[in-house]
Amino acid sequence: MTAAFDPLRALRVLADHGVDFVLVGGMAGRAWGSPTVTNDLDVCYARTKANHRRLADALLALEARLRGVGADVPFILDAETIGRGLNFTFATSAGALDVLGLPSGTTGYDDLSRAARPLRLAHDLKVRVVSLDDLIRMKRAAAGKKDLIEVEVLAALREERVGRESEGEQ
């Protein structure tokens, strides 16, 4: 499945299905002001049975298929499969979507949820976005070449934000 990348549509479907998630990865960086372009959407989901059901329903609505494997590989997309797995990479009708139970450098949803902030990404869409500090921590842990470059960009954004907040307090 080759679909145009439409992260806002994917996020709306997740939100409409009541999925407990935090936006992470490149789109979270974009939400915080990073100029870096990404071609996939990454979310960290709550690992509860009820959320597994909601996530499976949302993924079915997005016509999700495992990304990078042949169509002949058996895969049942349901709450039980989500519960037995952890990190999944999907091709969907809204583009590439990674659903992560345990992103690099974290202990999962509860860890990231504590400092996540609700941000409005469109007039009709507000989602919880991982904090800049946690995003930097995740990128450092992933330690890929692009991740480490993005750490520098995100750290500069954080410094700029702190500077603006300090000026506003004076």
Task: Read off the pLDDT of residues 41-59 as tens digits, 9 standing for 90 and up.
Answer: 999 999 999 999 999 999 9
Q: Answer yes or no: is 32 within a domain.
A: yes
Q: What is the pLDDT of residues 67-103, one digit of tens each?
A: 999 888 889 999 999 999 999 999 999 999 999 999 9
Residue range(s) defining the domain that contains residue 95: 7-131
The answer to whether residue 148 sits within a structural domain is: no
Q: Is residue 117 part of a domain?
A: yes
> How many domains, in total, are found in the chain?
1
pLDDT the model gives residue 169:
54
In contact, 131 and 115? CB cutoff 8 Å: yes
Q: Is the pLDDT of residue 34 over 60?
A: yes
Whether residue 24 lies inside any domain: the answer is: yes
First vs last C-alpha separation in the chain = 53
Instruction: Provide the whole-model pTM.
Output: 0.92
Question: How large a percentage of the chain has pLDDT more than 90?
Answer: 84
Which residues partner with 31 through β-bridges?
A: none
In the chain, % helix, strand, coil (3-state, to 5) comes to 45, 20, 35
CATH number at residue 113: 3.30.460.40
